[in-house]
């Protein structure tokens, strides 16, 4: 899926790109690195440090969603879980103060 994402990204965006990603095993796989080398005229990737919630705000969002939706209201099935998650995200997306907090975490390093 990540390879398909990269292919679509390069195809749809005509400009040179800088992509900042974490070091998930999929992102650092040899197949991905080989593809990136082949396409270095179109895209350059920068990897975040292993543990950096202060730079990787989606980790804080993931934790918030897990704690306040999935963890609090055990869904009966995937459809119900997705409904809870979407509802939670929709209710919080325009609350700038809450969104900013995802970027304020410290890595402890």
What tens-digit pLDDT sequence spans the chain (109 residues)? 999 999 999 999 999 999 988 888 999 999 999 999 999 999 999 998 876 666 667 777 888 888 888 777 778 888 988 888 888 888 888 888 888 887 776 655 5
Domain containing 92 equals 57-101
C-beta separation of 23 from 47 below 8 A: yes
Count of structural domains, the chain: 2
- Let me know if residue 109 belongs to a domain: no
Strands (E), the chain: 17-21, 43-47
- Let me know if residue 81 belongs to a domain: yes
- Is residue 16 located within the same domain as residue 35? yes
Tell if the pTM clears 0.75, that is, is over it: no
Residue at which a domain ends, from 28, 47, 66: 47
- Is residue 65 located within the same domain as residue 95? yes
| Residue 72: other Cβ atoms inside 10 A | 10
């Amino acid at each position: 899926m990540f390879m398909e994402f990269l292919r679509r990204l390069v195809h749809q965006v005509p400009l040179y790109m800088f992509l900042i990603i974490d070091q998930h095993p999929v992102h650092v796989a040899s197949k991905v690195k080989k593809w990136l080398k082949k396409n270095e005229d179109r895209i350059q990737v920068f990897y975040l440090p292993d543990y950096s919630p202060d730079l990787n705000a989606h980790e804080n969002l993931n934790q918030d969603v897990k704690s306040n939706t999935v963890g609090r209201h055990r869904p009966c099935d995937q459809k119900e879980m997705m409904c809870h998650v979407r509802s939670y995200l929709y209710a919080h997306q325009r609350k700038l103060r809450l969104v900013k907090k995802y970027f304020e975490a410290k890595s402890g390093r």
